[in-house]
Amino acid sequence: MNHPTADETDIDYKTLYLQLRKRFEREKRIRREAEQIAERGLRELYSLNNQQKLLEMIVSCANTTSSATRVLEVTLEETCRRMGFTGGVAFIRREDGNYDRVNPTLCFPDTLSSRQALLDACRASRLFEADGLAFQIKRQQKIVSWEIDSPEHAIGAGLHHGLGLPVSAGGSVDVLILFFSCKEVKAEEPIVGLCMNIGGHIARVIERDQAERKLRYDATHDALTNLPNRTLFIRTVTDILATWKTTDTPPAVCLIDLDHFKHINDTAGHLVGDRVLCLAAQRLSHTLADHPAHMVARLGGDEFVILFYGETSPHEVITATENVCDDLRRPFEIEERPLTSTASIGLAFWSSRYENVSCMLKEADQAMYASKRAGGGRVTLAHPVNPA
């Protein structure tokens, strides 16, 4: 019987060792890859869970409030906390198309130092410069990420990366939401999808808020002249009288009726008549532009009313009313055609003898008709007043 030699035995053990080592390394690599996959899966699951909770909070807020400011506050705070951003800030579009500076309530974290750091980061990223990031985000209407590379600026808290989210309502970018981070941020999936979803819910609240404000405006303003209407005027007078004290200067109402307006309507047509009313409204507002406390409203037809209140003395009110009367004597130029329509004006100061606003308006109305009976184009006081 032949026995293996020592050399043959050594070779078999070496081969076995190498095979086992190779198998061990392979299993170790497979285990490491499996752990990495599991860890990545857990991170993704955690991230998706955070994103889901973030959306749920924003949707809940959007469904329970009509305040765009409130839903923006929630968006900034919760997005920073759940997505790992260092800070966030929102800018609101003004009527001229530019964006207001940061509002303290639209900033997270809401501290003086963090706001300053965020504003420094906005300046360093050349956000609102000509053709800057805000212009690009507004023009492209898409999410944009960037890296701040501006050594001449000291960036607070190391905010070297940014992400811009446009919120569009009615076709225009109404809000710019900016998030800043110390780590790199890329405008790619899934964060783009998440931000688009967030922007859609914010836009829904903004549109609802705009619709409600328009309804409130339409309910309290005249559709032709855009002046406050009778409803808003009565409410304002009532509120002022509720806080008025006998030691204060009494509020006053100035009732205005355009003379010869029916003749203009009958001869030139209602479109021209409407134009005269709009020009009269503009002239009233312009004449009283420097007056400290007043309200000009249209009661209906060719009747306007002015409320004077505040520290204005009776003498100043009478002077302002006479100036209004003088300005309404000037012809209205419509299509190179001068149209004359003076004004009959009745002026009444609040007195303890009045029971309510209606009583004061009634006496102002009687004084206005006294002006009309006297030929128009003049001011009549409802009762004697000390003009001092």
Judge if 48-217 and 230-381 fold alike in CATH terms.
no
**Average pLDDT estimate for 257-268:** 90
Low-confidence winner among 8-22, 103-117, 265-279 (lowest mean pLDDT)? 8-22
The structure's pTM equals 0.69
Check pLDDT > 70 for residue 370: yes
Q: Residue 30: its pLDDT value, please?
A: 67
Structure tokens at 137: 């985000």
For residue 187, give the amino acid letter.
Answer: A
Q: Residue 41: its pLDDT value, please?
A: 47
Residues 249, 303: contact at Cβ < 8 Å?
A: no
DSSP string, 293-342: SEEEEEEETTEEEEEE-SS--HHHHHHHHHHHHHHTTSPEEETTEEE---
**Which CATH number is 230-381's, of 1.10.357.10, 3.30.300.130, 3.30.70.270, 3.30.420.10?**
3.30.70.270
Low-confidence winner among 80-84, 103-107, 272-276 (lowest mean pLDDT)? 103-107
Provide long-range contacts, Cβ within 8 A and 24+ apart, for 131-137. 133/162, 133/164, 134/91, 134/99, 134/164, 134/176, 137/164, 137/166, 137/173, 137/176
Residues 6+ apart with CB under 8 A from 211: none
| Most confidently modeled range among 149-163, 174-188, 250-264 | 250-264
SS3 state at 357: helix
SS3 state at 24: helix
Residue-wise pLDDT for 75-86, tens only, equals 998 888 888 888
Residues 280, 288: contact at Cβ < 8 Å?
A: no
Residue-wise pLDDT for 49-74, tens only, equals 677 788 888 888 888 887 888 888 88
Check pLDDT > 90 for residue 171: no
Classify domain 48-217 at the CATH topology level.
Beta-Lactamase (3.30.450)
Structure tokens at 213: 């404000």
Q: Residue 365: its pLDDT value, please?
A: 95
**Average pLDDT estimate for 23-27:** 75
Q: How confident is the model at residue 388 (pLDDT cuts 50, 70, 90)?
A: very low
Residues 158, 135: contact at Cβ < 8 Å?
A: no
Q: Residue 366: its pLDDT value, please?
A: 95
Domain ranges of the chain: 48-217, 230-381
Q: Residue 318: its pLDDT value, please?
A: 93
Average pLDDT, the chain: 83
Q: How confident is the model at residue 385 (pLDDT cuts 50, 70, 90)?
A: low
- Structure-derived torsion over alpha carbons of residues 69, 70, 75, 76, reported in degrees to the nearest 10: 60
Residue-wise pLDDT for 320-333, tens only, equals 999 999 999 999 98
Q: What is the rounded distance in angstroms from the CA atom of residue 206 to the CA atom of residue 36?
A: 43
